[in-house]
Structure formats: structure tokens, C-alpha cells
Structure 1
Amino acid sequence: MTADRLVLWRHGQTDWNVATRFQGQADIPLNATGLAQARAAAPVLAALEPTELWASDLGRTRTTAAALTSVTGLEARLDPRLREIHVGTWEGLQGSDLDASDPEAYAALRRGEDVRRSATGETVSEVGERVAQALTEIGESAVDGATVVVTTHGLAGRAGMCRLLELPFAHWRTFGSLDNCAWAVLQRHRGGGYWRVAAYDVSVQETIS
């Protein structure tokens, strides 16, 4: 059994997104804009006729997934492997804070190196590995031809996708982070059985206030 399509959907906006704080696995809720984004995206994703819905177990992803549940009736199944990167002691910091406290790490981060987010955090490649493992299991356990929506996070979604596609780490930055409540569509190639990117950073094109 194998899904035909995986839709990686980033959660809606939070106040920490607006403030550009390192959010990581801090359980920050959606703000009013994020809730509106999820409500607007849900019927568009429902039109893809998903048969399964998965989500990270953090509140912002569960709330985002709930908007799709209200339209489709699909209940989200939770998997902690879909969480955002763990940033350890960087949690809540802004870039300027990190630049002041650890300029070498901040410079390496801006160069796109696989920096560990503080001594107690994760690297991007580690996140890619755990998310890709979850995506592989989710895809392989779905019924043949299924479309599965996976509600996750910006960096985690990108890293997991790139690892699933077996792209070299140096190429991962080619894909920017998914915008809040935007999604990527991975389609399984019927001939070779591998995944390919059918769409990336798709969102509802309207102003939400």
C-alpha cells in the first residue's frame, strides 16, 4: 500500500513568527491571522480529496489541522517526529540576540551550514532524517492512490522533503522555508516509485487580516 500524494502543510502564523523569534518546539499558539489562514486554506486542501490527515503534536499544527478536520471530517493523527527543529537555549531569541551572544554560530547559520541550534538543540540534517522517516512510514501505510495531508512546520517540512527526495544537503537551501499555511505537494512517480515535487509553497492568494 502506498500513497500517491503527500501534501506538506505548514501551520498558520504565530506571534513569534511575526517577531522572527527562534520558535523551535516551544508550543506557541496561532494568532488571529494564523487562524484565518488555516480557515482559508482548508477548503482549498479539501478539494485535493485527502483520505488521511497527520500532524505534529504541537498546538499550532494541531489547530491548523483542525481547520481541515472541520471541512473534511478527517481526524488528525499525531506524530511527534513531525515537530519543528529543537532549538534548545535559542528558544525565544531573535537573530540579533544570537549574533550578540554567539556571533560565530550566527554567521555559520546565515551561511547555510548545518549548525546545531545550541548545545541542546538539533541540526537541520537531524530534523530531515526524523521527518523523512515519518513521511516514509505515513506514505507506505496509506492505501494505494491516497492523498495524505501532513501538517508540520517550515524548516521541518523543507528538511524532511529534501531528505525524502535524497537531495544532497548543499541543495536544501534551494527551497526556501514554506510560508505560514502554505504547502508543498509531493507526487509519487508511477513508473519508478520515487517522489517528485509537483508544487511548492502554494498558498491561498488573498489578503487575510
Structure 2
Amino acid sequence: MYELDAKLTHALNSVAGTSQLLNSLMIWVSAIGVPLLVLAVAGQWWRRADRQHNRHVLLAAGFSFLLGLAFNQLILLFVHRMSPYDAGVTHLLIARSANPSFPSDHATAAAAIAAAFLLHGMRKPGLWFLAAALLVMVSCVYIGTHYVSDVLGGALTGIFAAMLVRALFRKGARADQWIIGRLEALLDS
């Protein structure tokens, strides 16, 4: 399994260095893709259509994001995977990271956001977030920081977190109403 993972990772990363424009784009996506996704989620707060549902989904996306990253921290207690650039699989385009390779926090965060929107029936923004998440994931492998399985593992963690939040955080529940009320008082005044 490792050999397939290394081959796929090397194949995606082997394009790195062939185009300065593509290199710059992928480095940029990797660096600010997740913060831009978070801003895009936050910007949905003022969307007029079905405000109550929309705001519930925004909270669910935020909780999914945070829960997914928390799961990653638990995984890191048991898994310490060497980065593909340290294993000689990839050519690194950015500075080395002190973080273990598995799972990818970028993939977790991006997938959690997309999954939260899709699981809550917000198909159109969910598909846009999914496209952005896939771009973030590809960029992580392209620039040499992660194996393909690192981003797939991170994506699964994010999706699992979104599913758990979907099951436990109900629209219209007391906690949902309380948090939305506090945020409305803060942001809509």
C-alpha cells in the first residue's frame, strides 16, 4: 500500500517545478486556501435566504472544522508519519514543517466545511466548497508536504467530524438558538 501511495504522491509532485506560475498558484492555495474558506463561510452569515437554516449550517461548519482538527490531534498521539520530502518521495517547494505528515490538517479543515454544507442540504455552496477543498488537497501533495493518503485521511477525519456534528447538533435546539442569538446580537447590530 505504501508503494502505491508513494507513486501517486511522486506523480502529483513531479509536475512541481515545470511551471513557475503553477508553482506559485499551488503554494498560494496551500498557504491561504483554508483561511479563505473560513472567510467564505463567515461571509455567508449575511445571506438572506432561509436565514435560520443558513446560520445553523455556518455553526455546524465551524464545529465540524474544530472537531476535525481535534480528532487530528488525537491521531497524532499515536501516529507519527515522516513527511514525503524527508523520505525522498517529493521535492519540497516551501519551508520544512515540524508537523507530522498524517493526517493533513488542511484537508481536514477544507473537507469538514464542504461536508457540513452538503450534509445540511446546501448543495450549491457545498459543491463550491468541495471544489475548493479538492484544490487545497491537491496543492498539499503538489508542493511536497503530504502523501496522497495524508490528504485522504485528513478528508475522512473532516467528513467524520461533519457527520458527527450533523447527528448531534440539531437545528432549533436550545444550544443552536442560544449561539445564533448571541452572534446575531454581536454581528447584526
Q: Is TM > 0.5 for Structure 1 vs Structure 2?
A: no
TM-score (norm 1): 0.24
With the length of structure 2 as denominator, give the TM-score of the two structures. 0.26
Q: Which structure has the highest helix share of the two?
A: 2
Structure number with larger C-alpha Rg = 2
More strand by share: 1
